[in-house]
A and B are shown apart, each in its own frame.
Chain A
Amino acid sequence: MSMEPSGNESPAIERPSMDVDIVCAGFGPATGGFLTTLTRGLPLEDGTLPQVMCYERADDIGFGVSGVVTRARGIRASFPELNPDEIPMAAPVREEKVLYLLDPIGASRRSFTLKSADSLLRAAGVLDHEAFELPLIPAFLEKHDGLVMSIGQFNQWVGQQIMMSGMAQIWPGMPVAAPLIDGSRVAGVQLLDHELQPGMEIKAALTVVGDGPVGPVGRQLDEHFGMPEGHEKREWAVGMKMVIDLPEGSPLEPGMVLHSFGYPEPEIFGFFYVHPGNVASAGIFVPSWFDSPVRTTYRYLQHFLQHPYLWRYVEGGRLRSWGAKTLNEAGRRGEPHLVGDGWARIGEGSGSTNVLTGSGVDEAWTTGTQLGEAVLELLREKKPFTKENLEATYVRRRRASWLEQESLTAEKSRDGFHRGIVAGMLGMALAGFSHGRLHIPGAPIEHMPKVEDFFSERIPAARVDEIRREAASSGKPLHDALMDAWGWPAIPYDGQLLVTQQDALLMGGKVQAAPGYADHVAFRDEALCASCGGKTCVSVCSGQALTDAPERPAFDREKCIHCGACMWNCERENVVFMAGAGGLHSAEN
């Protein structure tokens, strides 16, 4: 039998191997749902107890990233008696607002339409701290019956229950490098090589892939098996957040949910959720359709926090946790092949995110529970995990569920954003109210504009060139210098909440990397990097792990939080993002 890890270009080496029944790559909400459902059905009535293993890259199962508000329909179906008080940082949603944030400083890139709308709103006197609260929230966006949560804490809560059942083992700090592909079958996974030991092969009858939107196993399956006709992963976003200790005496109640658009750039969405204990999560999403070559999410997050509507609540607060991740914004359109012989895909990497409602955690959880039920059915009937059997059980459940109906409604809802923010918002409304029958079409731009062109309105090309040279000689980030020159004010660092990105890594992210592993970010062709004017991979890097250098960006794995944004932001597809170890060490995101 010829069996080798997909994409493994290193010479063949002798690897230890181990046989289990089911192996999972990645532990997040989807795998949590899968293992919760599966382990409740084990051992089987006839006493069969399959050996179930889950391997997670992060150094703890609670180091996931996502402050979340979710309707929690799937989660509540798994836990009908769920008491949010049992999960640290969880609270029922009590108040929801959608805000249109105006630009209080004049640095935002606003179209004529938006500027006109801003003038009208100001003239009408309907603003509260430079924000317009939408009088109604469309039903498809409401989360009124849901929960505000920390995914890190939720993952811990779920993981502890699974582990204490004794029916499955979840191993953190153990990155999965690749699927073991044997022709049309997946026969398990290969763990990441360490300098002291080659990565073990874990052979299994079923490989469950829940390693997220940029997970190495899922991407290698996409490369090997291709995408279904008409499906593509073309829309992405970087989500970055802070968990904040609010100042004493804050009037905000747990369960308050704010969503925003319009600032710091019209294309950037924001969120603000209040947890119990005078704590809030605040963050932004910088989408791929924001056609700026300077997508410095951290800088934008700091400007977002300083918007007058939010600043009155967070001023005097303290950064408690910080993190970032890539979101697969393609949703249903980005759904890969869900099953094959010996493998199944769940969660965000399987295209489960609803891009209309901006909901992903509950959907991911639900895909996991559906696979859990399917696997129990196959185990009871003693049927093998073939593509046909997994389609008849898992895929059938998924297609018949609310998840599928809602993801079809959402599939094209955001296409309008490729034409601009106004078209995008209208497209979402059309799709939402027509249940997906109508939408505004649009497609991603083929090439990101050059830095000189993007900033030409305010910064002459010669000045851009000067700034580039100054940044190169001083070692300071080019994107910061460009934003300064454009008119964004300097960040008034206070050492508590407004801190440098490096301080955020330490104070908030507590980022660490275990020794003994190779760099997991590489560049295919250095000449391509040398000729790249934008270096978007550097500006978008959530942890400043990539810094500009003459030949190619320099990579520091001790700062990488594995968001994977470098990969999809390189339009030349020159960034190789592989399995790696380490990352965030905060469980509060």
Chain B
Amino acid sequence: MSYHIAVCAGIVPDPLQTLEPVSGPQGPALKNEMMLPAVLDPWAAHALYEASHLAKNVPGSKVYLVSLAPKAKLQQVLMTMAQKVAFELVALDGPSSGFTESADVASALAAAIEAIPGLDRSQLLLFGGWESAARAAGTTLAMVGERLGITEQFQGVDALKVGADGSLEILERVEGGKHQVSVCAGAPAVLGWATGSLPEPPNSPQTGMQNMRTVMPALQKAKPAQVGAHAFLSVSLPKQQRTTRIVKDVPAAEVAREIAAWIRGS
């Protein structure tokens, strides 16, 4: 038993960047989008770490990172991500601003996964983020699964155990901070990861060099994805916006009071 794990992961602006929607010639976009440093979507990054962990524990397994993003930006992000875990890259060139239609993105990703040479769909585990730091619609992964005909779908996953018989025991987040335990017979399955339980791996020069054998060729042959042909009537900022402050040496009670006041005032 081994798995082919396809991890769908987009890129998003590096945390703490100031984001501002603007109208561009192609529709809504982020101001200075190409100048903003980017990272792999943190939700999907957890999925990637879990995929790598699983692949290490199940001999013969293979991890594919499937990403739709502007090629130049993706290359930049991969120079960091490629140092963390081993994967084979499947790259699609296209926008990652969050103003794309998730159904289009899902179709493009599903087609790219279907086209992976040697992919065993009976052993396919489709990993990704339960949500996204781009828009948090949380719909893309489920639609990729649908297009690939995978009916076993789990969202908000925090843990995965593989049974001796190949069954998958999955811990999903549900309301009230509780988890639901589900068991399915095995692959194929879709797992939309929450945070999982693995720390971010440190950068490893060897892993980076190993990945580079596939990363650069995959980027060079990345095809433009057909997404974003939809018109937006309007785009506006949410009323509640993230305001990040890092404080130290402040009592927890004071922090709690400030947060409560912020919630009451918003």
Contacts and interface: CB of A to CB of B under 8 A. Distances in A.
Interface of A: 16, 18, 53, 55, 59-63, 88-89, 153, 156, 159-160, 163-164, 166, 169-174, 191, 194, 196-197, 200, 202, 277, 320, 502, 506-507, 510, 512, 514-516, 556, 558, 585-588
B4 to A, nearest CB: 27
Interface stretch (B32-40, B117-125, B162-170, B251-259): B32-40
Interface residues of B, number: 34
A295 B18 CA distance: 30
Nearest to A199: B205
B205 A510 contact: no
Contact of B80 (A53, A153, A173, A586): A173
A320 B35 CA distance: 12
A88 B11 CA distance: 20
A172 B206 contact: no
B216 A587 contact: no
Given A507-B18, A510-B14, A164 B205 contact: no
B205 A506 contact: no
Contact of A16 (B16, B18, B83, B206): B206
Contacts of A587: 35-37
A109 B248 CA distance: 36
6 contacts: A173-B203, A174-B203, A510-B16, A515-B200, A585-B37, A588-B35
Nearest to A165: B216
B79 A163 contact: yes
Contacts of B219: 164
Contact of B244 (A89, A506, A515, A588): A506
Q: Majority SS of interface residues in chain B? A: loop
Contacts of B206: 16, 18, 200
Interface in B97-120: none
Given A61-B79, A166-B216, A506-B16, A171 B37 contact: no
A171 B205 contact: yes
A59 B216 contact: no
A483 B264 CA distance: 39
Given A60-B76, A164-B216, A197 B37 contact: no
A174 B246 contact: no
B61 to A, nearest CB: 22
B209 A585 contact: no
A172 B79 contact: yes
Contact of B79 (A16, A88, A170, A510): A170
B129 interface: no
A202 B220 CA distance: 28
B220 to A, nearest CB: 7
B178 interface: no
Nearest to A197: B202
Contacts of A586: 37
B248 A556 contact: yes
Contacts of A62: 37, 76
Contact of B37 (A18, A60, A170, A516): A60
A89 B32 CA distance: 10
B212 interface: yes
Contacts of A202: 205
A156 B76 contact: yes
B97 to A, nearest CB: 16
A196 B200 CA distance: 11
Contacts of A163: 75, 79, 216
Given A172-B79, A172-B80, A586-B37, 5 more contacts: A18-B209, A164-B75, A169-B208, A174-B205, A197-B202
A61 B36 CA distance: 13
Which 3 residue pairs of A and B lie closest in terms of their CB atoms, listed nearest first? A510-B16, A194-B202, A587-B37
Contacts of A159: 76
Interface string B63-83: 000000000100110011001
A61 B246 CA distance: 25
B83 A171 contact: yes
Contacts of A516: 202
B246 A60 contact: no
B17 interface: yes
A18 B212 CA distance: 15
A558 B17 CA distance: 17
Interface string B32-56: 1011110000000000000000000
Given A89-B35, A507-B18, A585-B14, A59 B202 contact: no
Contacts of B204: 197, 200
A338 to B, nearest CB: 27
Contacts of A153: 35
Nearest to A507: B18
A585 B14 CA distance: 8
Contacts of A585: 14-17, 37
Contacts of A191: 205
A506 B34 CA distance: 20
Contacts of A160: 72, 75-76
A277 to B, nearest CB: 8
A197 B17 CA distance: 30
